[in-house]
Amino acid sequence: MRESAETISTSRLCCSVAAAWEKVCFYEHIVLQPSWLLRSVLPVPVKTTGAYRNVGDTSRCMYSDGGYLTKRITHLGPGARVDFEIIEQSIRYSGWIGLKGGTIQIVGHTDGTCTVHMMTRYELPAWAYAAARFCVDLVVKAMHDVVIRDMRQRLAAPETVGDHSSGAALEIKRGALQ
Whether residue 161 has pLDDT greater than 80: no
**Cα 166 from chain centroid?**
12
Distance between CA atoms of residues 58 and 36, nearest Å:
28
Q: What is the pLDDT of residues 70-125, one digit of tens each?
A: 999 999 998 899 999 999 999 888 888 899 999 999 999 999 999 999 999 999 88
Which comes out higher in pLDDT, residue 21 or 53? 21
Q: What is the pLDDT of residue 72?
A: 97
State the pLDDT at residue 126: 79
Q: What is the pLDDT of residue 13?
A: 94
Calpha distance 85→18 (Å, rounded): 24
Percent pLDDT > 70 in the chain is 88
Look at residue 137 in the predicted model and tell me its pLDDT. 92
Full set of structural domains in the chain with CATH: 2-157 (3.30.530.20)
Backbone dihedral angles phi then psi of residue 152, each to the nearest 5 degrees: -60, -45
Q: What is the CB neighbour count within 10 angstroms for residue 4?
A: 11
> What mean pLDDT is predicted for residues 131-144?
90
User: Is pLDDT larger for residue 44 or for residue 104?
Assistant: 104
- The pLDDT-based confidence of 20 (bands split at 50, 70, 90) is very high
Q: What is the mean pLDDT of the chain?
A: 85
Question: What stretch of H or E contains 41?
Answer: helix 36-41
Confidence of residue 159 (pLDDT cuts 50, 70, 90): low
Please report which helix (H) or strand (E) contains residue 40, including its range: helix 36-41
Kindly state the average pLDDT of the residues 121-130.
84
Question: Tell me, what's the pLDDT at 168?
Answer: 38
